[in-house]
Chain A
């Protein structure tokens, strides 16, 4: 799998993975930092679009 592929992510796997994270980390997802992660990801996507153009 690479960044050019979109492999389906079964919802039951997603929920099980989230439950495991919650269990091992013992904390809810850090929503504010996740927004920063999302913004930085958008920057990567924009850079790629720029280079591809």
Chain B
């Protein structure tokens, strides 16, 4: 089984519990035996999701972030900013939303993982070769 990068649309769906497919995707990876199948969340995507979610969804999102070994949060730091900027460059002129998408593209590229998303267009615009799994 292959891990997934969850973009902000997938995180919002997880928090709102409005996509059984996203839940099945998480259950499958958390329950996988023997080796870790990572679920990767970027800090900008997490911030974008939190901004769209009501406070009472915090326990659901928090549980995802607490999945020991499985959930990895990629921070946007001074060390990762140049690579995120590289993904972002092709979107110029860009908006704040592009920064979030670029962080997701960077995580997918760095970790060789597909992205789980409702909306692949912003990601494909930054990296046409990105692997995306569109949430049904």
Interface residues of B, Cβ cutoff 8 Å to A? 1-3, 17, 20-21, 23-28, 30-38, 59-60, 63, 66-70, 72, 110-114, 131, 133
Contacts and interface: CB of A to CB of B under 8 A. Distances in A.
6 closest pairs, A vs B, by CB? A33-B24, A2-B111, A24-B63, A3-B112, A6-B35, A29-B27
B47 to A, nearest CB: 21
Task: Sort chain A's interface into a size bin.
Answer: 20 to 34
Contacts of B67: 17, 20-21
B17 A25 contact: yes
A29 B68 CA distance: 18
Nearest to B32: A9
B26 A21 contact: yes
Contact of B30 (A7, A21, A36): A21
A44 B110 contact: no
Interface in A23-53: 23-25, 29-30, 33-34, 36-38, 40-41, 44-45, 47
Nearest to A47: B131
Contact of A41 (B2, B27, B33, B111): B2
Given A29-B24, A33-B20, A4 B112 contact: yes
Contacts of A38: 1, 28
B69 A7 contact: yes
A25 B107 CA distance: 27
Contact of B1 (A23, A41, A47): A41
Looking at B17, B68, B72, B112, which has the most chain A CB atoms within 10 Å of its CB?
Answer: B68
A44 to B, nearest CB: 6
Given A14-B30, A24-B63, A37-B25, A45 B2 contact: yes
Given A18-B31, A40-B133, A30 B2 contact: no
